[in-house]
Structure 1
């Protein structure tokens, strides 16, 4: 039996064991995992240093190095995410009434685990803890295939989590890390129909497209994060500046950072010079359309087809638009269905924006950086789905379950 087949088979068997574990026990395990991560943080950081020492050799850019780096604060955040998950309601087994039929049948739907989830990701070692905990709480086994960039960190984190599982007499295979980053093994993972139920790729657009095009197992997709902030003519300028600077510069190498800013023509002359000054203080390179360039100095005047870039760096595209409809049209063409933000004091305009924009998260007067599972009350996220089957947006516990029909009768037969 191949390594991948063995991992997948053990995960499938472990998922069946987890089906009989109570919510109280799952929560105790999560609390113990959080404590263990903090208690053994030095072990994790040492493994992470090993990964970071190869960053230059592997050609990682600044954004990927940032995602790869673990610090005591980031490990504490991981642990807190597990504790938050322990405090959240367990979706498994929850029922909702669908109908009571004229013949007396009671029709309900019950939430059930997906089964075995496979995560394929790049330089994101925190995914190991987040995905492991989310899948565990929602009743799923998880197979984690990280890139070679973060392998030592991922193995260190998973070893800690597996040790806790074994302390509670649960199979370590509930959280498995593929120990070899060979791409041939990744391809074999994507062929495990019947053992793996869903694959969630998390990383650059190239990785996600590769998985989508080659997997024989259903894939939840998120290609990139091209997020916009639209400054409406009724925007509070100070608030707009704050949302712009925070969304672009608070952390650049993440999918919920701003990559574009759209400014209504009626406010452009007042807003754009202030925006350019604030962004340049943060060393942001500004690209802009011809109209924006009449108000501010831009590093590059963009052609129409040059909008929609995911910079993941201190760089942004600014465009002046005629009205809300023009902003909506731009987002429809260049957005990535991730996160879109409007800044306005006009409730009617905000409501129209939130209703019409096709994005998994649409915000009004709030930073795009809040488009995150933990920030939205999910405890953590296993990924962000930018297609609508079967989830849309940050995926927490409920998104890692499906529903089955449960029907209760008292002897009814079909005539």
Structure 2
């Protein structure tokens, strides 16, 4: 008979009795874990005004500012001395990062500030370490690059997100597209963790509904996948739980009313917590697929791809766990996530799937075929996705047939 959490913790005659051997199964990786994040996190409305003081404390005289559109953030940047602007448009690529690196070097920049969405932040953190470590992006990229290790700290790096999505302000990797290889891949190192992250929810109120939806769905997924990752630990669980709750309560509200500051704050917390969790317990099959699909569906918003895949991945993982590892404590965590998401104390994983599908309908998430993915692409996508770094955190190793089924349903 499978041990359940209710059997591990029992209440009799007003006293709580714990079967610690049984309870330990619900604390995977308890024996040892690590947790790393940005050196400093500054959260709250109007905190972006602290940027000049922060840069002064870093003794930076010539920062490189990596941003999507500098004019939009003029009030944030106006008191900086000698900034060099580098604009990033669209998804970041190897070529984009290379151009930014050249700009930083040619102007002898002594720090990097990234203000914008995940694209600007990913490019900024990579430039910061490449200035001090030398080489080019492909020297350090996983999967498609040479996979060299970053061995030195980068320039001081400050991340200021203006969307609630990737959590890149507290992660240790940079995701770039390589059009040549038709895939997105990461450069990853503890040296890429930002020196400081400033999260100001007021910077997100002007984000349009479609971007709010896409980035928010990414943030929500990045809380849920680490929670049910086989590499989760008690600290990431605590953070992911709160992230899931904030995302479930805030995303639809932020989508329907961008001026709802409470909802924007909730989504900024969801994004931050997702970044904290994934950086320390990995993601899963959703992001294992999404990185590869970024090369096949160039115009597809990353969060929309994640959201389309998420219900089918949950269903497949729960089915596979039930069949091949029925005593896994992750099954109970899927049900717990469902209770957090739906607010129903009796919810099971399938209720979370229904809730997510209904949210995707409200947020206008289309099938993957909308972005040009074809049935004939599925085998090569499955092959590449099965080797991705994110897949290593998935709740259980899925077979090629199971991965194929997920992708076919998402088409």
Q: Compute the TM-score of the two structures, normalised by the length of structure 1.
A: 0.24
Q: TM-score, normalised by structure 2?
A: 0.24
